[in-house]
A = this chain, B = another copy of it.
């Protein structure tokens, strides 16, 4: 079933408008091409509505924000909603500044999201509406995280994905715990941004199955992190690991995803 999600993505070749950040933009674009989608990355308020309209889906990444980019996120998000395109939010480091929190508040108010992906701290910040304590890499995988994820999903109607030691995917009711991935993925910058882009591709090509698409993306990223880790030689480090993960996304078969996916649900 998860395998169909990636086949469908390769079949439909969705064009995803990806407003991301300059740290991870190149990796996100290559990941999108690798999974069978493609990307346009316009980020100026003056043109984003037009670009959104020519695409099939939208990913809004809050990393390295500035007022013009934040305005562009809102404009693009509203246009995608108007056209019925799925929209994914990645609230990068949302607790890092008042500007980001305010931007997130407006986005959640004015844009309807198909999926939201963040780490535990970012998701907690979205739920609480107040600041997190430690930047974009923060991770508070405590008992409250599942409750936060479910609460945010119910409030927004979005699939909520929380990445950490265990990844979570929930629509507010059903909650999957995904045990794929490798701790070394934390040493690859923008791995979260990449996953958000992958969610965007899968959910755009499988709009009728947002839950399965989100779950497939989380499992695919994790399985690819495992495949890539097995390739590492003693001289390899995070730079090669980054490349091997992207390579694995490129080569991932439906069978490898289904055999490798390691998740459970209790409802």
Residues of A near any B CB (own CB < 8 A): 15, 21-27, 29-30, 33-34, 38-44, 46-47, 50-51, 54-55, 63-68, 93, 96-100, 133-137, 186-190, 227, 231, 234-240, 242-251
In the assembled complex, the CB of A227 is this many whole angstroms from the nearest CB of chain B, namely 8
- Check B29–A189 contact: CB distance below 8 A: yes
Q: Are B38 and A137 in contact (CB under 8 A)?
A: yes
Contacts of A63 in B (CB 8 A): 41
Question: Is the beta-carbon distance between B231 and A235 smaller than 8 angstroms?
Answer: yes
Among B34, B64, B98, point to the contact of A239 (Cβ < 8 A): B34
- The residues of B that contact A186 with a CB separation of less than 8 Å are 33
A239: B residues at CB distance < 8 A:
30, 34, 242-247, 250
Residue contact A190 to B26, C-beta cutoff 8 Å: yes
Residues of B within 8 A of A248 (CB): 235, 237
Contact A30 B65 (CB under 8 A): no
Closest to A44 in B: B66
Question: Would B41 and A23 count as touching, CB distance under 8 A?
Answer: yes
With A65-B44, A240-B243 known to touch, is A135 a contact of B54 (CB < 8 Å)? yes
The complex places the Cα of A182 from the Cα of B100 at a distance, in Å, of 42
Contact B231 A251 (CB under 8 A): no
- A-B pairs, 5 with minimum CB distance: A237-B250, A237-B247, A239-B246, A47-B97, A29-B189
CA distance A144 to B13 in the complex (A): 25
Is B66 within 8 A of A66, CB to CB? no
| A187 contacts B33, C-beta separation under 8 Å | yes
Q: Are B46 and A187 in contact (CB under 8 A)?
A: no
Query: Across the interface, do B243 and A247 meet the contact criterion of CB distance under 8 Å?
Result: no
Interface pair A54/B134, CB less than 8 Å apart? yes
Docked pose: A236 CA to B231 CA in angstroms: 10
Can you name 16 A-B residue pairings with CB atoms under 8 Å?
A: A22-B26, A24-B26, A26-B190, A29-B189, A33-B186, A33-B187, A34-B238, A34-B239, A40-B93, A47-B65, A54-B133, A231-B235, A235-B248, A237-B247, A238-B250, A239-B242
